[in-house]
Amino acid sequence: MNHHTMSRRALLGWIGKTAGAGAMYQAMTSLGFAAESSHPDKLNLGGAKKGATVLVLGAGLAGMTSAYELRKAGYKVKVLEFNGRAGGRCWTLRGGDTYTELGGETQQCQFAEGNYINPGPWRVPYHHHHVMSYINEFNIAIEPFVQVNYNALVHSTKAFGGKPQRYREVQADYQGYAAELLGKALNQNALDEALTHEDREKLFESLRHWGALDAKGDYKKSHEVSLRRGFAIPPGGGLSPKPEPSEPFDQSTLIQSELWKYIVNGQDIEFQSSIFQPVGGMDNIAKAFEKRVGELIEYNAKVTKIAQSDTGVTVNYEQQGVAKTAQADWCVCTIPLSILSQIPVQTSSGMQAAIRSLPYAASVKVGLEFKRRFWEQDEAIYGGVSYTNLPITNISYPSTKFCDKGKGVLLGAYVWGANAFEFTSLSPKERVKKAVEYGKQIHPQYAEEFDNGISVGWHRVPWTQGCYGLWTEEKRAEHYENLCQVDGRLVLAGEHASNLPAWQEGAISSAHDAIKRLHQKALSTMA
């Protein structure tokens, strides 16, 4: 036996670099290293000082979570919300809804009854335990969200003549070729110094299984390969044509296509297992919170100043053109930093610097309604996401109302970065037009089947002026702790004050942490 063995850590790193995240995750599971995130602790905040008051700024999920839990703890709570509705970025657009963005452009959603788009969050991963706990507590109806569909498409204007390819074909072939190359390296004794003989044999066996290799360790046209990538002629009944295996892509062509970079998306931890969506729209989570704390909320309240002293917090705001003031012992502020940085706030210099330092990501979503669900009827794509190198980035197919004979809505664009700034600079109508033009390169049916659309460019959304807090490691090291401190009688909460930016889980878990620490400070100051 060769005693010059490779460490488990080194082996996992080698597998990850060579064969990808999926193979590494499988190896981690077999070695007992893969684990889920922990469940949140139950909040037990009781014992608030009688008559103690808290102002909550913002009725998004962080704000309503704070209001809900603080009232249970015995505080008298008041919430100020800029919009005429609760939920913030937890938002759904349905037929008949109107939305006015910065600059004054107003859109009216024309979707058919039952169709919708979520401009903000649109998925709840299985391990976002804070969100899932409230879904369970409030009995919110949920259904599966299909993230990974191997029958969806991957597309590049630079590969295969611009023709979209099936996700499963690229997945199977890339995985197969990677396994073949690794197997050949093993059989050429290239790793004799790295693994024991027994490890080498077991690893080769696993690569054959993982990559659908033949007995010689080659990846080539076969029945087994076609069970992964699909058949040229699929099996049928009776006297239907005999099944015919499909021909894998040329290895070099596949590698040069760069389509392989899309197939790892489903291996991210958020998408590995069950993902959910509330039935009928994401804002049903917000509505469930609003049902419980709605009487605490003052709507259409624009905060203009936040001041504090040793004994309390004073907030100036405008409501329907009337200047008003609210006071409380404590304040939980969930206003996005993109907005808060424009408001006079009395805090320490460290928190001031943190508030003003964080940029917000640019993002655009475009919802497109079609006369029929052609992606299902013509292409057998039921849910999931197709990816492209076009500026629209991806197309997401609805995970509800399968086989419905009426109109259907796609997420026709989910744009980021420089392309998002370009899209945002266009009028809403032009954004929709662009999404249709790009989408026709993937689904030619767009030309005939498109009916109407609506778009949201997040830098033009009045209450956020951006999508989410865009942290870097350097900015976190410099500002994150100062941002999250209880500063006098003020504490901040929201996705920007979390290590899960852009996720509802980040907003709610941030609120839990913030109000626990605020409550502890309140108890310590009780006379």
Least confident of 198-207, 320-329, 394-403: 198-207
Percent of the chain with pLDDT over 70: 91
Q: Give residue 191's pLDDT band: very low, low, confident or very high (50, 70, 90).
A: low
- By three-state DSSP, how is residue 31 classified? helix
All residues at 6 or more sequence positions from 278 whose CB lies less than 8 Å from its CB, including other chains: 124, 135, 140, 141, 142, 143, 284, 285
Range list for CATH 3.50.50.60 in the chain: 53-85+289-358+470-524
Q: Residue 25 region, left (φ>0) first, then alpha (ψ -120 to 50), else beta?
A: alpha
Q: Does residue 183 surpass a pLDDT of 90?
A: no
Cα separation, 498 vs 510, in Å, equals: 6
Cα separation, 206 vs 209, in Å, equals: 5
Cα separation, 11 vs 4, in Å, equals: 13
Cα separation, 93 vs 116, in Å, equals: 6
According to DSSP, residue 399 is labeled: S
Helix H or strand E segment including 169: helix 167-187
All residues at 6 or more sequence positions from 431 whose CB lies less than 8 Å from its CB, including other chains: 364, 366, 413, 423, 455, 457
The residue among 332 and 236 whose pLDDT is bigger is 332
Least confident of 40-44, 218-222, 488-492: 40-44
Segment 316-366, tens digit of pLDDT:
999 999 999 999 999 999 999 999 999 999 999 999 999 999 999 999 999
What does residue 395 show for φ and ψ, rounded to 5 degrees?
Answer: -125, 125
B/e letters for 266-293, b = 16+ CB within 10 Å, e = fewer, are beeebbbeebbbbeebbbbbbbbbbebb
Q: Does residue 169 surpass a pLDDT of 60?
A: yes
- Decide if 187 contacts 230 (C-beta within 8 A): no
The pLDDT, as a whole number, for residue 19 is 46
Cα separation, 435 vs 198, in Å, equals: 54
Q: Does residue 527 surpass a pLDDT of 90?
A: no
Q: Give residue 270's pLDDT band: very low, low, confident or very high (50, 70, 90).
A: confident
B/e letters for 338-365, b = 16+ CB within 10 Å, e = fewer, are bbbbebebbbeeebeebbeebebbbbbb
Looking at residue 221, its amino acid is K
Cα separation, 85 vs 255, in Å, equals: 49
Task: Please give the angle made by the CA atoms of 459, 465 and 470, to the nearest 5 degrees.
Answer: 85
Q: Locate tokens 């907030």: which residue? A: 315
DSSP readout, 100-118?
A: E-TTS-EEE--PPTT-EE-
Percent of the chain with pLDDT over 90: 79
Q: Does residue 373 surpass a pLDDT of 50?
A: yes
pLDDT mean over 396-405: 98
Q: Does residue 6 surpass a pLDDT of 70?
A: no
- Decide if 427 contacts 460 (C-beta within 8 A): no
The pLDDT, as a whole number, for residue 193 is 62
Least confident of 4-18, 200-214, 513-527: 4-18
What does residue 117 show for φ and ψ, rounded to 5 degrees?
Answer: -140, 145
Which tokens in the block code for residue 337?
């930093």
Range list for CATH 3.90.660.10 in the chain: 93-151+274-281+361-460
Range list for CATH 1.20.1440.240 in the chain: 8-32+159-257
Q: Does residue 273 surpass a pLDDT of 50?
A: yes
Which tokens in the block code for residue 188?
């050429």
Pick the CATH number of 93-151+274-281+361-460 from 3.90.660.10, 3.30.420.40, 3.30.390.10, 2.60.120.10: 3.90.660.10
The pLDDT, as a whole number, for residue 22 is 41
Segment 284-322, tens digit of pLDDT:
999 999 999 999 999 999 999 999 999 999 999 999 999
Q: Give residue 46's pLDDT band: very low, low, confident or very high (50, 70, 90).
A: confident
Which tokens in the block code for residue 475?
């900015």
All residues at 6 or more sequence positions from 336 whose CB lies less than 8 Å from its CB, including other chains: 360, 463, 464, 465, 466, 469, 494, 496
The pLDDT, as a whole number, for residue 233 is 93
The residue among 489 and 274 whose pLDDT is bigger is 489
8-32+159-257: which CATH topology? de novo design (two linked rop proteins) (1.20.1440)
Least confident of 40-44, 91-95, 279-283: 40-44
Q: Does CATH number 3.90.25.10 belong to domain 53-85+289-358+470-524?
A: no
What does residue 441 show for φ and ψ, rounded to 5 degrees?
Answer: -75, -20
Q: Does residue 69 surpass a pLDDT of 50?
A: yes
Cα separation, 453 vs 433, in Å, equals: 9
Cα separation, 19 vs 180, in Å, equals: 10
The pLDDT, as a whole number, for residue 190 is 66
Q: What is the mean pLDDT of the chain?
A: 91
pLDDT mean over 54-80: 98
The pLDDT, as a whole number, for residue 18 is 45
The pLDDT, as a whole number, for residue 212 is 93
Q: For the full predicted model, state whether its pTM sits above 0.75.
A: yes
- By three-state DSSP, how is residue 49 classified? coil
- By three-state DSSP, how is residue 77 classified? strand
Looking at residue 484, its amino acid is C
The residue among 170 and 43 whose pLDDT is bigger is 170
**Angle at which helices 61-72 and 504-524 cross, to 10°:** 40
B/e letters for 401-432, b = 16+ CB within 10 Å, e = fewer, are eeeeeebbbbbbbbbeeebbebbbeeebeebb
Cα separation, 111 vs 452, in Å, equals: 7
Cα separation, 357 vs 483, in Å, equals: 10
Least confident of 144-153, 196-205, 290-299: 196-205
Segment 409-459, tens digit of pLDDT:
999 999 999 999 999 999 999 999 999 999 999 999 999 999 999 999 999
The pLDDT, as a whole number, for residue 192 is 61
Q: Give residue 27's pLDDT band: very low, low, confident or very high (50, 70, 90).
A: very low
Helix H or strand E segment including 325: strand 322-328
Q: Which long-range contacts (C-beta less than 8 Å, at least 24 apart) are formed by 178-182?
A: 178/18, 178/19, 178/20, 178/23, 178/211, 179/19, 179/207, 179/208, 179/210, 179/211, 179/212, 179/213, 179/219, 180/211, 180/213, 180/217, 180/218, 180/219, 181/18, 182/18, 182/19, 182/207
